[in-house]
Amino acid sequence: MAARNPLSEEELSCPVCCDIFRDPVVLSCSHIVCKTCLQQFWGTKGSQECPHTERQIKEEFEKLHQFLRDEEAARIAALKEEEEQKSQMMRRKIEEMNGEISALSDTIRNIEKEMEAEDVLFLQVRISFVLSFLFLSFCDTNKKTCCFYLKGSTFALIF
Ligand SMILES: [Zn+2]
Ligand SMILES: [Zn+2]
């Protein structure tokens, strides 16, 4: 069992002077205030409010404001995290796209190389073809029987 403590420390001191009560007065709300402090408080307020209850209300408001500030800070932090996650996702997508683009450029380079190689091959075939015709003409002029077979890119000269 917890020890009984019906009055908190702040309830044991005057809410106005924050000191030990001098000539204490008990109000209808059962709060205690120094008589001179209460008169001074009522004089400045212009109304007969309990300084303790007013301080409690102020503290409750302060707590509420603090709670709202904390809530807002938490919401802002959550938003920042969400934005951070979004930008990370964007960065990852951009990296992926860059990867795909570089893979595509590699493919294009390979195709270009193959095309260059094919160009060379095609040129070689053309040269062989031209040379064959020259040879055939030579054969003709020399009145010899020459046969020319073309099989794909392979040339065969048969006499
Ligand atoms: Zn006092
Ligand atoms: Zn009170």
Q: Is residue 24 part of a domain?
A: yes
Give the ligand whose atoms come closest to the C-alpha of residue 31. Answer: 2
CA of 14 to the centre of ligand 2 (A): 11
Q: Is residue 1 part of a domain?
A: no
CATH number at residue 15: 3.30.40.10
CA of 41 to the centre of ligand 1 (A): 10
Q: Is residue 40 part of a domain?
A: yes
At residue 33, the pLDDT reads: 92
Kindly state whether residues 77 and 118 are assigned to the same domain: yes
Q: Which of 7, 9, 37 is nearest to 21 (CA)?
A: 37
Kindly state whether residues 67 and 112 are assigned to the same domain: yes
- Provide the domain limits for residue 20: 9-49
Residue that has been written with the tokens 């309990």 in this structure: 50
Q: Is residue 158 part of a domain?
A: no
Q: Is residue 80 part of a domain?
A: yes
Q: Is residue 156 part of a domain?
A: no
At residue 159, the pLDDT reads: 39
At residue 144, the pLDDT reads: 45
Kindly state whether residues 105 and 39 are assigned to the same domain: no
Give the ligand whose atoms come closest to the C-alpha of residue 51. Answer: 2
Q: Is residue 99 part of a domain?
A: yes
CA of 14 to the centre of ligand 1 (A): 4
Other Cβ atoms closer than 10 A to 41: 21
Q: Is 152 helix (H, G, I), strand (E, B) or coil?
A: coil
Give the ligand whose atoms come closest to the C-alpha of residue 16. Answer: 1
Kindly state whether residues 60 and 23 are assigned to the same domain: no
Kindly state whether residues 67 and 130 are assigned to the same domain: yes
Q: Is residue 157 part of a domain?
A: no
CA of 11 to the centre of ligand 2 (A): 10
CA of 68 to the centre of ligand 2 (A): 26
Kindly state whether residues 63 and 43 are assigned to the same domain: no
pLDDT in tens, the chain (159 residues): 445 555 566 667 898 898 999 999 999 988 999 999 999 999 998 888 898 888 888 899 999 999 999 999 999 999 999 999 999 999 999 899 888 888 888 888 888 888 787 777 777 776 777 666 666 665 555 544 444 444 444 444 443
What is the number of structural domains in the chain? 2
